[in-house]
A and B are shown apart, each in its own frame.
Chain A
Amino acid sequence: MKARIHVTLKDGVLDPQGRAIHHALEGLGFGGVEDVRAGRLIELTLADGTSDDDIDAMCRKLLANMVIENYRVELV
């Protein structure tokens, strides 16, 4: 069982890396990019039966910083 944890900055939190990537895309001549937000993907390989609550606790306690980030769990 695998869980993909998508960690992204909360709305309203400025993303300097996203802005730099945006700038670089424009520098390469790509038009039409309106905004870029950079995030992080963490893939967990879990024992079968690991509870959603446990995965949630992992995210809240370590994988995401809830002051600035949100997370989304995708089971695959």
Chain B
Amino acid sequence: MKSAVITFPGSNCDRDLAVAIERVTGHAPIRLWHGEQTLPEGLDLIGVPGGFSYGDYLRSGAMAARSPVVGAVVEAAARGVAVLGICNGFQILTEAGLLPGALMRNAGIRFVCRTVALKVENTASRFTKLYQPGETIHIPVAHHDGNYFADDATLDRIEGDGQVAFRYADGINGSARDIAGVLNAKGNVLGMMPHPERMVEPLQGGTDGARLFEALAQSVLERA
């Protein structure tokens, strides 16, 4: 699997994501800087990591979404390349218009940093197909702006189309309909607030995140 992980000024989960992808899939990602105008040829996966890109200036993810490399990511997503945005990466993908909705300040105002239970809602996508329908998994969150918002018509549409990938088992941040992760209509872009890269080996407290990366690697083999 040929993958790339992007680093923006202020990203802080880029290395964790790269290590997790390599541990699980056996292939080390290419590391890309935010100023790149073009992406390497033949990518199967682009990882947009967590952190505080551009200091969260204006709105979380707003500046990064207008950076040169994200323009190339939008084009790659249109060609069907898998794009995974985690935490700040999710915020960036919504700001870039690759995913519906927006992520607002947590309803309780506080930064939430703990392992949470997630219900897997979609087990058909290339990201989630190794989870069982209705399965509950445990993945850490660490965010201040994870309160998912979209208007009711959009929420009805994405729920109806199976674009809700994960929900919080217990509401933690005020997210509409407890949504924790969203797919685009084509199913090749996933944004999620929880950090699967922080749950890939037993030493981290669990391995529920590993199956997401395994699923991506498997999808690449099936397409080859």
**Which residues of A come within 8 Å of B, CB atoms?**
13-14, 16-17, 20, 61-63, 65, 67-68
Contact = CB atoms under 8 A, between A and B. Distances in A.
Interface residues of B, number: 19
A65 B147 contact: no
Interface of B: 58-59, 62, 66, 94-95, 100-102, 104-109, 147, 149-150, 174
A14 B95 CA distance: 19
Nearest to B176: A14
A1 B62 CA distance: 26
Nearest to A64: B59
Given A67-B102, A67-B150, A14 B174 contact: yes
A14 B148 CA distance: 11
B95 A16 contact: no
Task: Decide if the interface of chain A is mainly helix, strand, loop or mixed.
Answer: helix
Contacts of B149: 13-14, 67-68
Contacts of A62: 58, 62, 66
Contacts of B94: 67
Nearest to A61: B66
Given A62-B58, A62-B62, A16 B107 contact: yes
Given A14-B104, A14-B149, 20 more contacts: A13-B104, A14-B107, A14-B174, A16-B104, A16-B106, A16-B108, A16-B109, A16-B147, A16-B174, A20-B109, A61-B66, A62-B58, A62-B66, A63-B58, A65-B59, A65-B95, A67-B100, A67-B149, A67-B150, A68-B104
Contacts of B108: 16
A63 B65 CA distance: 12
Contacts of B107: 14, 16
A45 B59 CA distance: 21
A13 B103 CA distance: 12
Given A13-B104, A16-B147, A65 B109 contact: no
Contacts of B62: 62, 65
19 contacts: A13-B104, A13-B149, A14-B174, A16-B109, A16-B174, A20-B109, A61-B66, A62-B58, A62-B62, A63-B58, A65-B59, A65-B62, A65-B102, A67-B100, A67-B101, A67-B149, A67-B150, A68-B104, A68-B149
